[in-house]
Structure 1
């Protein structure tokens, strides 16, 4: 009888032990800290969609050289742009070697050899360029380099295909000695240029159209992210922020003990600052660009199509340009603004992977209203006169068709214009 009681007690203890183990395993309180650090942000809702870095790296233009000093330019809104670029992005480039820029007669190549310049409009870290060009094999020679353009051409005398990766200042030039492109491949892509508007070389790598370019005037509806949405999205604890109404321009200013958020243009423009102490060390452009993309993904998302471009000169605490800009496009055409109205870009200041300022529009483009009104952009000498007037003696690095945006009650007016980008990164309207 005693032995039977001992056995029963043992079974009961084992059962109680199993029950206790279950509650310990499935009811353990979280050991993660509940205290947020100064670098934490709360993402309360998803506003715009997220984006990948490689999807923001497409070229500003493709310059097509057809030999005999004949040229044309494809822009992102052109069908030929996508047809040519898709083929080139899938090719293999390897066996890189550094070359002296002076060993290549670039003027002769430009005039005589059939080829294509893939222009990004700013130096792109090679490590990021590999995400866009899937066929570029990693090379330690280029691991820390930056590339502004890729120039592929077939020699007129021998048919040999050569591919060069160049930095904006022309100091870094690398040749891919192994490329799976034939002269026929290059000629096929270049051949599309015969069906496009001719462009003439002007100066500093800029080509000007000889014929007018057709681009419709468009009216587009829009919605807005609200100040409340952005406040919740950018502050750790929105309940600790204070809002001040600016009596002069009506802007709303939100502040906590560290960060500041300003909403202006009647709720259409955001400026956010999060001062950070700069640490010792070198800035890595690839890290900063990636950090900028991730920040936008987490705090507002991408309210349209954007492309990484050159930002106006801004010198940060470390003595380098810490601004990263993403240009907005509509149907492949860059959006620019003039005067006090700001629209068409996002800009962030990033140092060593940490974002200290963030500017963007809160307008979200919607459907086109009505039909586009036909419009012809000027060309030739008339355009050159406008370019010189807009540049006012400053070097021009790029010419491109754009939409000048103006706000009209509940819609945006997109008016076709020619725009120029100066050496400083500043964009001005030239027509």
Structure 2
């Protein structure tokens, strides 16, 4: 009798345990804890200055218009923007390679044809970013580049030439959507540009330069600085790991395990370096990627603290430069004073070196004087006669500003002529002034 009840008790306990297990399992499945949401700390992104679009740093620096009455041209920023805005309304089609290697004579023939307009760029522009400047109806896949754009204004098929630098290629495209009345108005306005003239050379492309003298204002600016510590916070991945120490009489060093930033407090410049990167830089960068990476890098910390434009690019060295401009004139300086360029070197998809000024030009003081500069054609003939100048290797002659420091807080921009020879810029020294040729960065 006792054994019989024991079996019933075991069965009842087993059923109870099964019911308890089912209940607990269901509770676990349906349990929703009332957790308080964890608030994320806001990520602070230092913005030092402006951010720019590609079309704002890639601009022609000169336009010439060729007609049967002669050549006119302009470097005025508003004239250039007016033409670029007009061209952005066009539709470019049927981009095709016309010459694998255009010669100097062939380029001169295209640029000098009557009823044409030519845009000159400071640096070769890769087709990989051309959609940022103009509207193409078809996908552009070539990584070739162009330095001049020639518009045949009388062409029945709307022909446009994209001409590469010396030894480069020539491409053509057809354009539609060009309003004839607006084009006629543009050409009529081009007749009011200042007179230009062609300066021919034996083995190099023709230079197109102002044929008359012109007055350019001297300008003086108060200096404004951005704190180097703001740059360190913007450039280093983890500011909490950054240390700072003196680095000479007028220098400071910010550093962590992978990066360092050397600040020259006298010249108001800095150089940010990836010290963990291998010194050798293998391969050639894709030009459009180099350009886009460099733009994104500066935009990320709002590094356009003055007006800068693309000035040169070397995909082999993975080097790219942006030069300061004031009112459309390039700004140069003796490198013993300070820099007027942003320079980047890239490697393996990362920034390797980043050099730049950290001063800003504040509000200009009231203009007090003007300087009359000689005609560009006169400057060219002067350079042609100089024994230390290889005139066939002079790639450009421009009006610009030389940056000078008057006092600790004042910068003066002195108007002058400059010429580029074999990739280096120099001021044009007048005959009889003495002194050798000094390079400007």
Which residue number in structure 2 is paired with residue 34 of structure 1?
A: none
Paired residue for 2:434?
none
Compute the TM-score of the two structures, normalised by the length of structure 1: 0.81
Structure 2 residue runs of 5 or longer lacking an equivalent are 1-18, 430-441
2:16 aligned residue: none
Query: What is residue 39 of structure 1 aligned with on the other side?
Result: none
Give the whole-Å Cα distance in 2 for the aligned partners of 1:271 and 1:111. 44
Aligned pair 1:328/2:324, yes or no? yes
Name the CA distance, whole Å, in 1 between partners of 2:45 and 2:109.
Answer: 57
Q: Which runs of 5+ in 1 are unaligned?
A: 1-5, 31-41
CA contact (8 A) 2:217 2:369 kept: yes
Tell me the secondary structure at the aligned position of residue 370 of structure 2. coil
- 1:214-363 to structure 2, matched below 5 A, reads 214-247=215-248, 249-266=249-266, 268-275=268-275, 276-277=277-278, 282-299=284-301, 301-311=303-313, 320-363=316-359
- Residues in 2 aligned to 1:185 and 1:153: alpha-carbon distance in whole angstroms: 15
Q: What is the alpha-carbon root mean square deviation over aligned residues?
A: 3.5
Residue-by-residue CA offset, 1:211-266 (whole Å, 9 max, x unaligned) = 1122110111121112222222222334444434344x522122322322111152
Matches within 5 A, 1:153-192: 153-154=152-153, 161-181=158-178, 187-192=184-189
1:239 and 1:26, CA in 2 relative to 1: closer, same or farther beyond 3 A?
closer
Which residue in 1 is equivalent to 2:131?
130
Q: 2:401 aligns with which of 382, 400, 403?
A: 403
Structure 1 equivalent of residue 9 of structure 2 = none
C-alpha separation between the residues in 2 aligned to 1:390 and 1:246? 42
How many angstroms apart in 1 are the aligned matches of 2:287 and 2:109? 33
Number of residue pairs matched by the alignment: 398
2: distance between equivalents of 1:390 and 1:57?
35
Aligned 8 A contact 2:72 2:192 in 1: no
Aligned partner of 2:95 in structure 1 is 96
Structure 1's 267 and 240: CA in aligned 2 closer, same or farther, altered over 3 A? farther
Does the C-alpha gap of structure 1 residues 231 and 299 become closer, same or farther in structure 2, counting only changes over 3 Å?
same
Task: Report the alpha carbon displacement of residue 126 of structure 1 after superposing the two structures with TM.
Answer: 0.8
Structure 1 residues 98 and 286, CA gap change in structure 2 (3 angstroms): same
Q: Which SS does the other structure have where 1:50 is aligned?
A: coil
Larger Rg: 2
Q: Distance in 2 between matches of 1:59 and 1:287?
A: 21
State the TM-score, normalized to the length of structure 2. Answer: 0.79
Partner SS state of residue 307, structure 1: strand
Given that 2:219 and 2:367 are in contact with CA atoms closer than 8 Å, whether structure 1 keeps it comes out as yes
